[in-house]
Amino acid sequence: MTKLKIALQKSGRLSDKSAELLREAGIHFPNDGSKLRTEASNFPLEIYLLRDDDIPQYVADGVADVGIVGLNVVAEKDKNLKVAERLGFGKCRLSIAVPKNEPFSGIADLNGKRIATSYSRIVSRYLKEQGISAEIHEISGSVEIAPGIGLADAICDLVSTGSTLLTNGLREVVTVMHSEAVLVARPDLSREKAELLDKLVFRLQAVRKARNHKYILLNAPNERIPEIARVLPGMKSPTILPLATEGWSSLHSVVEEDTFWEVIEQLKALGAQGILVVPIEKMIV
């Protein structure tokens, strides 16, 4: 039987969330932390646990068929890979930062400067696009220390909360790219493997949509139902059920996580009562 081979980060920022996403998609596999190769028991999937930097190369070489890795690593390694799905976790940005007291009036200030980074390819490409000529110092980690020890004038590294920059006396001045975990695939998969990839993507989408939506139930006077239904269009239209209390109905729908609180405010203003919000496990539209 054909199996799809997937590469996941062994241990790091993406590991737990990658495994959790597969489990939520109903794919079960043993993960005792020491085995670097394992198999799903209920989906034709073989799992390799690797360093994240190696994943694009393994997928490009056909050692693995697909992989979960940060878009930042995909862009840096620059292999011929297809992004099959954005996964919505591991969100961060790749930014240029300078010592906090250093004046910075624009990207042109980087001309002739030394920039320390682990992302030399992305940074070179970016500086070239911007017409800036700077010296790039490639280092593999602890990039934020570079200006403090006289190794560079600026850095380019991943930022999420900004606390690492703050602790190291740096300030973010330019965002080079936004990143999140993505599922990447080799573009030349066999038909059987491409079908398995489609099945996997379908399941991941169902999990992701469910995570981004909530199921909402509320009571409302019948005369307010049309207005409330406009605020809560749901997947097609809301379900409306009569309550035992004369002149009242119960309305069920789905609401997006991002707009959730604004929608609740509007519903309250429209006279909704007894609002219940529950998580959705899977969502297939």
What's the distance, CA 220 to chain centroid? 37
Of the candidates 14, 47, 176, 184, which one interacts with ligand ATP according to CB under 6 A? 14
Query: Could you say whether residue 76 binds Mg ion (CB under 5 A)?
Result: no
51 to 70, contacts with Mg ion by CB under 5 A? 52-53
Of the candidates 12, 62, 148, 274, which one interacts with ligand ATP according to CB under 6 A? 12
CB of 5 to ligand PRP, least distance (A): 25
Query: Could you say whether residue 36 binds ligand ATP (CB under 6 A)?
Result: no
Which does residue 162 bind out of ligand PRP, Mg ion, ligand ATP, none, counting CB within 5 to 8 angstroms by kind? ligand PRP
CB of 232 to ligand PRP, least distance (A): 35
Three-state DSSP string of the chain: CCCEEEEEECCCCCHHHHHHHHHHCCCCCCCCCCCCEEECCCCCEEEEEECHHHHHHHHHHCCCCEEEEEHHHHHHHCCCCEEEEECCCCCEEEEEEEECCCCCCCHHHHCCCEEEECCHHHHHHHHHHHCCCCEEEECCCCHHHCHHHCCCCEEEEEECCCHHHHHCCEEEEEEEEEECEEEEECCCCCHHHHHHHHHHHHHHHHHHHHHCEEEEEEEEEHHHHHHHHHHCCCCCCCEEEECCCCCEEEEEEEEEHHHHHHHHHHHHHCCCEEEEEEECCCCCC
Which does residue 14 bind out of ligand ATP, Mg ion, ligand PRP, none, counting CB within 5 to 8 angstroms by kind? ligand ATP
CB of 65 to ligand ATP, least distance (A): 19
- Report whether 172 contacts 159 (CB < 8 A): yes
Query: Could you say whether residue 53 binds ligand ATP (CB under 6 A)?
Result: yes
Of the candidates 3, 13, 23, 114, which one interacts with ligand PRP according to CB under 6 A? 13
Q: Report the candidate in 256, 258, 250, 257 with the shortest Cα–Cα distance to residue 275.
A: 250
Query: Could you say whether residue 178 binds ligand ATP (CB under 6 A)?
Result: no
Question: Binding residues for ligand PRP, how many (CB under 6 A)?
Answer: 11
- Piece in contact with ligand PRP (CB under 6 A), picked from 157-165, 177-185, 199-207, 277-285: 157-165
Query: Could you say whether residue 157 binds Mg ion (CB under 5 A)?
Result: no
- Piece in contact with ligand PRP (CB under 6 A), picked from 160-168, 198-206, 223-231, 259-267: 160-168
The contact set with ligand PRP (CB under 6 A) reads 13, 141, 144, 157-164
Interface positions with ligand ATP (CB under 6 A): 9, 12-14, 51-53, 70, 72-73, 90-92, 158, 160, 179
